[in-house]
Amino acid sequence: MKKILIVLLFLFLTGCEQIDEEALKEEIKAELTEELEFDINDINDHLSMVSNMVKACTVTVEVTLSDISETHGSGIVYKSDGDDYYILTNEHVIRYNQSIEVFIPSINKYLQASIIKEDGMKDLAILKITSLDIVNICEINLVEYVVGELVLSVGTPVSKEYSNTVTLGMISRIQDDLIQHDAAVNPGSSGGPLFNINGELVGLNVSRINTTYSGNVIVSVEGMAFSIIIEEIIDFIS
């Protein structure tokens, strides 16, 4: 941008009649294109760095419901105490469990988990695992968030084959204790963290709307996911 301003200043001082307008347009266009590409590369590098950081503290929560039935969700490792690590997830992910295992992608291990605290009304739960290996954590602090802000959703949609999937979206609406956003979430994403692009937790994915009625016809819906707000999370873990 500085180069463009210098060119324009030169035009002003020397007089426009001496300048080839078409050549000037091409020069300014080239400068703008170069700067735009540079800015996009910066953004991509930043998003890649933050994605790798937040993936490191996101886990898969696998729940055995019976001898023949299993389900899974996602979670975030947010605190440690010696060899004990604490994971935040949704209560509905672990409801009716017979046993719970947590898959830690960063160390490629399954670890048995116990329930420390759960609240069905808030749909939040805290699990504890014990690991001799160091497990990455993402601290939870109160941060501001606004409609229009970019966010990253992390989790294990569909199956553990897709653990640590990161999707990008935008906060669409904030109402009561929920953030509505359009980052892609799917079955298995519940309990997965929602971060701002600085890698700070702003919410915990809890649900989505994927169909609705148009008259008597069921139609698909896209881009309507919901996360529990950070204020509710901090109140629960405190």
* Set 51, 72, 74, 123: catalytic member: 123
225: closest CA among 189, 196, 176, 177?
189
Q: Are 122 and 91 in contact (CB under 8 A)?
A: yes
To the query of whether residue 190 is one of the catalytic residues in this protein, the response is: yes
Q: CA-to-CA distance for 19 and 27, rounded, in angstroms? A: 12
Q: How is 144-194 classified by DSSP, letter by letter?
A: ---TT-EEEEEE--SSGGGTTEEEEEEEEEEETTEEEE-S---TT-TT-EE
In which residue are the tokens 């963290």 written?
Answer: 193
Say how many CA atoms lie within 13 Å of 29 toward its Cβ: 6
What is the chain's length? 238
| 21-55 helix and 2-14 helix, angle to the nearest 10 degrees | 160
Q: Is residue 151 packed enough to be buried (19+ CB in 10 Å), middle (13-18) or exposed (0-12)?
A: buried
Phi, psi (rounded to 5 degrees) for 112: -65, 140
Alpha helices in 15-126 (DSSP H): 21-55, 91-94
Select which of 92, 182, 189, 227 is catalytic. 92
Residues carrying an active site annotation: 92, 123, 190
